[in-house]
Structure 1
Amino acid sequence: MNGLEVNARPNALLRAADIAEQLGISTASVYRRRSLGEPLPPAIKIGGSVRWKQSDVDAWIDSQREER
């Protein structure tokens, strides 16, 4: 899924690789952050898979901006 396609679908469920691309980190870093309880957007567990809603990822990114 490319960035334009994902952002046009706010309820899309994203894989770790998708949010890693949006956050500019590796997929392994997404899983490591999740296992260590480090900040990440809220995840949804579906069976044995973890997914993230695009709208949650967007909101989380917005909340991480520094005020100048």
Structure 2
Amino acid sequence: MTTDDLVRHLRMSRVTIWRKRAAGAFPKPCALGGGQLRWKRRDIDEWIDRLPVSDPVCPIPPRPPAQRPRDFGRLL
């Protein structure tokens, strides 16, 4: 897979992929020569499988019913 393939497949920017590579948090590419890099799809899929699963989004509890505004005019 090329970098462009990864951007589309992972829905990540090139910069994010580069940063993850620099941090050692991304599969290593294969160098083809001439500065060309390619990733094995299998390595990418295994990396995805090892990513932690995030918790499902917690539903927001409903708001209590709105209270009627106070009428301070009677107090004056």
Do these two structures clear the TM 0.5 threshold for a shared fold by scoring above it?
yes
Q: Percent identity?
A: 30
State TM-score, norm by structure 2.
Answer: 0.57
Report how many aligned residue pairs link the two structures. Answer: 54
**Greater relative contact order, per chain length (Cα 8 Å cut-off, separation 6+):** 1
More helix by share: 1
| Structure showing the higher strand proportion among its residues | 1
Gapped runs of 5+ residues in structure 2?
Answer: 56-76
Partner residue of 1:16? 3
Q: TM-score if structure 1 supplies the norm length?
A: 0.62
Q: State the 4+ residue runs in structure 1 displaced beyond 4 angstroms.
A: none
Bigger Rg over Cα: 2
Q: RMSD of the alignment, in Å?
A: 2.0
Residue equivalent to 2:19: 32
